[in-house]
Amino acid sequence: MSQAILPEGTRVRVVQDPEWDGPWQGEFDGTVRYVPSPPEPVRHASARPGEMAYWVRFDEPQRDADGDGPYDRAHIWDRYLRPAAESGQGPSV
In the chain, domain spans: 11-87
Q: What is the pLDDT of residues 3-19, one digit of tens each?
A: 689 999 999 999 999 88
Cis check: omega of the bond before 18, within 30 degrees of 0: no
Q: How many other CB atoms are there within 10 angstroms of residue 31's CB atom?
A: 18
Measure the N-to-C terminal CA separation of the chain; round to a whole number of Å: 19
Q: Is the pLDDT of residue 92 over 50?
A: no
pTM recorded for the entire structure? 0.84
Q: What is the pLDDT of residues 28-78, one digit of tens each?
A: 999 999 999 999 999 999 999 999 999 999 999 999 999 999 999 999 999
For the segment 80-88, the average pLDDT, to the nearest whole number, is 80
- Per DSSP, 88 falls in state T
Q: Is the pLDDT of residue 79 over 80?
A: yes
So what's the pLDDT on residue 32? Answer: 98
